[in-house]
Structure formats: C-alpha cells, structure tokens
Amino acid sequence: MNILEALQALQRDGIAALEEIRGSGQLPLWYRTYLGRKGRLTQLLRGLGDLSAGERPLAGKRANEVKAALEDAFQARQEHIKAAELEVALSSEQVDVTLPGRPIAPGHLHLVTRTLRRLREIFAEMGFQVYEAPEVETDENNFELLNIPAYHPARDMWDTFWISDEVVLRTHTSPGQIRCMRESHPHPIRVILPGKCYRYEQVTPRSEHQFFQVEGLAVGHNIRLTDLIGTMREFAGKMYGEGRKMRIRGSYFPFTEPSIEVDMDCILCRSEGCRVCKYTGWLEIAGAGMVHPVVLRNGGYDPEEWSGFAFGMGVERPAMLQHGIEDIRYFYGNDLRFLRQF
Ligand code: DAH
C-alpha cells in the first residue's frame, strides 16, 4: 500500500470510528489515536521523508487534507455529542431552584482610599477644600513654574516619565498649586490636593513608580511659618493620636523659602528607637515651607501683598508605618489576601 492509499484508509477509518462514538468520554482516546502526537497520522507523516522529491509534494498536500478533514469531523462529532448529552441532562436531572445562592463577598475600600479619606476629613475640619488636578502635566507646571528651570540640578530630585518633550506624568502633586492659584486669584486659598504621582524609579519594597501624595496650600495675608507648624501639629495629633511630639528641620525645596521637613515621634517604638525609624526615634511626615515669591508670582499673587505655606506628604508610607506593612508593592498587587486585612 503506498502512502496515498494509506492516507485514504486513515481518513476512512477515522471517520468510521468517530461515528461509533456514543459518549463524550470516548472522544479523547479517538483524538490520541488518530491525531495525537503519537497517533496514526503522525506515524504516516514520518514516512514522507522516504519519498522521492517528485512524490513528496502531492503526498504532503494529501496529508494536510486528511488532517483537516479529520479535525473537522472531530469538531462536528464533539459538538453533536455534547449537545445530545446536555439535552439528556436537562430533561432528566432536577434543579432545586430554592437552594440559596453562593454569597458574593461585598468587598471594601482599599487601604489607600481609606487613608486618603481620613486625610481629607482631617483637613476639611481645618477648613481646607479639595482641589483636584490632572495626573498628566506640562513640564511647565511640574517644574518651570515651581521655580525648577530645565538646567537646575534640583530636577534630579525627580525621575520623570516623559510623555513628550513638554508633557510628563506628574512627579508630585505640587504643580496643582499653580493651577489652583491661577484659578483662585484674587481670593485667599486653603486647599489640599490629593492624587497619584509617578516617578521613573526602580520598583523595590520601599519605592513604587506610582504612589499617592497629598499636597497642601494656603495663600492669604500675613500667613506665617508658625501657621504651617500649627497646621502640621493639628494634623499629626488627629491622624496619629493626641500628644505627638514634633520636630522641624531646615531643608531645601525650590518652590518654598524657607523650606522645612516635619518629623514626628516614631509611633511604633514611642521614640525608643526601632528599625522603622532607623533608631532615631523620629519619622518624617512632610516636606513643607513658605511658598516661594517666584511661585506666588507665577500663580498670579503679588508676593508683596500675599504670603502662603505649602506642604507635601506621602500616603502609602504612613499607612505602611501604621499597619506594619513591609512592602509598598502590596498596595498595587491586587492580591486579595493582602487587601482583605484592612
Ligand atoms: N513636592 C515635594 C516632593 O514630591 C514635596 C513637597 C515639599 C511639597 C515641600 C510641598 C513643599 O508643597 O512645600 O518631593
């Protein structure tokens, strides 16, 4: 029997065998026998190599046709059998429609959302409104107008995702200050600006390339550094418990002058010294300062007449401290085993 006849026989046998099948349980065996990796078709195909160059194309073509015919017949038979089985099941089995359904877990707010809501609440009590600004920003708002020109080394403080030469994913919530000032002039301002920020950073247990910040901005007449410090003290007490100790350190940000960093006594060890506070007894809670005259002017406020303070704080980091979460990546991993705990 030459290979063409063998192929013909294979197709005939296969289709005849399919017709014999009565239940879907027998389908896999048929498939293995005829079309499987060690099946009859595969074995015949091995013989192709022994053919002369003249015979090979025709045999190859026939082999493909047989394969397609068997695949099609198998699909059709499978559908037919499954439909028949379903029919039988539907008419013979009983469905108890009075059984209770499986309960669907209602879910709850993400830890970050809850932390953000708490922050909003605390600042609302102090008279701060919420100002929402976009996550995609111009280079101008994110840097230039915040007193960070292109040549300035301070740009190295933020690793940036660039969308185009002039558009970035905001690296901090501070550009919202400019938008808010331009919209609010000539009225005084007291807002927080919560939202997501992005940095082109290696993702590690301590840093994500996406994270939340809450920015604060107050602009008015005779606003002083002590107003900022009082606001931070009030915030720390409400967020982390009354009687917090606070420490102010001089710092540098291009958009504030003077700039400070606000530390709070470590909530985990009560300032005794632990791994989280790196044995200093202090945790950093915010960068802040008096709004730089250049930034006020860029926002449309005359620094001779107006003054203001601003601050910026992270959201995930304090939540991590409070709940003893050791890896920031959990926040965005969507693992229910993590999310359910909070
Ligand atoms: N934008 C700063 C950052 O992401 C945080 C910050 C510091 C915001 C001082 C402020 C500020 O408004 O006054 O690192």
Q: What is the pLDDT of residue 138?
A: 97
Q: Atom 6 in ligand 1: which residue has the minimum CA distance?
A: 312
Confidence of residue 163 (pLDDT cuts 50, 70, 90): very high
Task: Indicate whether 26 and 55 sit together in one domain.
Answer: yes
Task: Indicate whether 82 and 11 sit together in one domain.
Answer: yes
Q: What is the mean pLDDT of residues 6-24?
A: 93
Domain containing 127: what range?
111-339
pLDDT digits (tens, 9 = 90+) for 219-248: 999 999 999 999 999 999 999 888 889 999
What are the φ and ψ backbone dihedral angles of 298, each rounded to 5 degrees? Answer: -60, -30
- Range list of β-strands (E), 142-245: 167-169, 189-198, 210-220
- pLDDT at residue 75 greater than cutoff 90: yes
Q: What is the mean pLDDT of residues 26-49?
A: 91
Task: Indicate whether 279 and 159 sit together in one domain.
Answer: yes
pTM confidence score = 0.71
- Note whether residue 102 is domain-resident: no
Total of domains in the chain = 2
Tokens of 127: 């008279």
Q: What is the pLDDT of residue 261?
A: 97
Task: Indicate whether 280 and 138 sit together in one domain.
Answer: yes
Q: What is the mean pLDDT of residues 11-37?
A: 94
- Range list of β-strands (E), 17-158: 129-130, 136-138
Task: Indicate whether 85 and 123 sit together in one domain.
Answer: no
The atom number, within ligand 1, closest to the CA of 171 reads 4
Task: Indicate whether 222 and 322 sit together in one domain.
Answer: yes
pLDDT digits (tens, 9 = 90+) for 275-304: 778 899 998 999 999 999 999 999 999 999
Query: Ligand 1 centre from 48 Cα, in Å?
Result: 73
CATH of residue 287's domain is: 3.30.930.10
Q: Atom 3 in ligand 1: which residue has the minimum CA distance?
A: 172
Q: Which of 158, 199, 215, 290 to mutate to test the pocket of ligand 1 (most atoms within 8 A of CB)?
A: 215
232: which residues sit within 8 A by CB, 6+ positions away? Answer: 246, 262, 285, 286, 288, 311
- pLDDT at residue 158 greater than cutoff 90: no
Q: Atom 7 in ligand 1: which residue has the minimum CA distance?
A: 287
pLDDT digits (tens, 9 = 90+) for 112-144: 999 999 999 999 999 999 999 999 999 999 999
Q: What is the mean pLDDT of residues 247-264?
A: 96
Q: What is the pLDDT of residue 143?
A: 95
3-class state of residue 27 by DSSP: helix
Q: What is the pLDDT of residue 273?
A: 85
The C-alpha atoms of residue 340 and residue 118 are separated, in whole angstroms, by 19
Residue 63: name the closest of 84, 42, 80 by CA: 42
Task: Indicate whether 164 and 125 sit together in one domain.
Answer: yes
Residues enclosing ligand 1, CB less than 6 A? 172, 174, 215, 253, 256, 287-289, 310-312
Confidence of residue 1 (pLDDT cuts 50, 70, 90): low
Q: What is the mean pLDDT of residues 301-323?
A: 93
- Note whether residue 132 is domain-resident: yes
Task: Indicate whether 303 and 182 sit together in one domain.
Answer: yes
- pLDDT at residue 260 greater than cutoff 90: yes
